[in-house]
């Protein structure tokens, strides 16, 4: 695969595990200069070691994206270290609190929206100047199939991911005149070490079995298979913006 991105600079939030890690490895193989940001120092170091083992260049940034200010800091540190930014992949996200309406709190909803929508928007706001200077300015919001086809329980997560998809579409129109593409990708359920589905499989095997029988869980989809946020950054579909795939 040649995404025509050699020497370009990319920041991936939530880049140490799962889809973020798979995307980082994909882009490293394409010669992209990487910054990966996440909460865990150990997983950041382990992923950085894998990237360097295949000849990649990587900067690690420890950040907690439950605070949008951390998004801005991660972007600023990337630009300071590399002198610019071509690609932003806002991959960090998740859900907080109780999954059912009756037991969920206002704080559960607010934190879930802040972590998913707030972190991505804050990162793109901070990155806009650098992406405008780039000749391929590109932002990808990693949403979820839940934002397109929600299931029962976990409404705050589904609503936040739907909001992220619509934010990408709206911002594509707003930032297009500045030469910045904005797209969203909506992966299905994916199993990876330390992820939510692995926890479900261990703690609620009966719930996991329902998804496995229906083929909904990503046991048949590795993170690498669905790291579509990496290919969306390619220079080949250079006119693609506002998509939610």
Active site residue ranges: 157
80 to each of 59, 73, 74, 108, how far by Cα in Å? 11, 10, 10, 34
User: Which residue from 166, 158, 189, 187 is spatially nearest to 243, judged by alpha carbons?
Assistant: 166
Residues 6+ positions from 111 with CB-CB distance below 8 Å? 66, 96, 97
- Dihedral of CA 229/207/119/78: which sign? negative
CA–CA separation, 165 and 45 (whole Å): 31
């Amino acid at each position: 695969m040649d995404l025509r991105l050699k020497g370009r600079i990319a920041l991936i939030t939530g880049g140490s595990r799962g889809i973020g890690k798979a995307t980082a490895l994909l882009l490293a193989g394409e010669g992209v200069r990487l910054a990966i940001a996440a909460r865990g120092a150990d997983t950041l170091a382990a992923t950085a070691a894998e990237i360097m083992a295949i000849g990649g260049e990587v900067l690690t940034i420890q950040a907690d994206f439950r605070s949008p200010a951390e998004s801005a800091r991660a972007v600023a540190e990337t630009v300071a270290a590399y002198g610019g930014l071509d690609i932003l992949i806002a991959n960090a996200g998740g859900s907080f609190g109780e999954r059912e309406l009756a037991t969920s709190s206002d704080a559960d909803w607010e934190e879930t929206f802040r972590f998913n929508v707030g972190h991505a928007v804050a990162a793109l706001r901070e990155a806009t100047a650098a992406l405008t200077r780039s000749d391929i300015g590109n932002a990808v919001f990693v949403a979820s199939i839940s934002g397109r086809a929600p299931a029962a329980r976990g409404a705050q997560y589904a609503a936040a991911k739907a909001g992220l998809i619509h934010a990408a579409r709206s911002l594509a129109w707003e930032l297009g005149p500045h030469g910045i593409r904005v797209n969203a990708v909506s992966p299905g359920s994916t199993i990876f070490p330390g992820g939510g589905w692995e926890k479900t499989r261990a703690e609620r095997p009966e719930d996991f079995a329902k998804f496995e029988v229906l083929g909904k869980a990503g046991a048949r989809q590795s993170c690498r298979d669905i790291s579509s946020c990496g290919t969306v950054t390619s220079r080949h579909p250079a006119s693609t913006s506002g998509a939610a795939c």
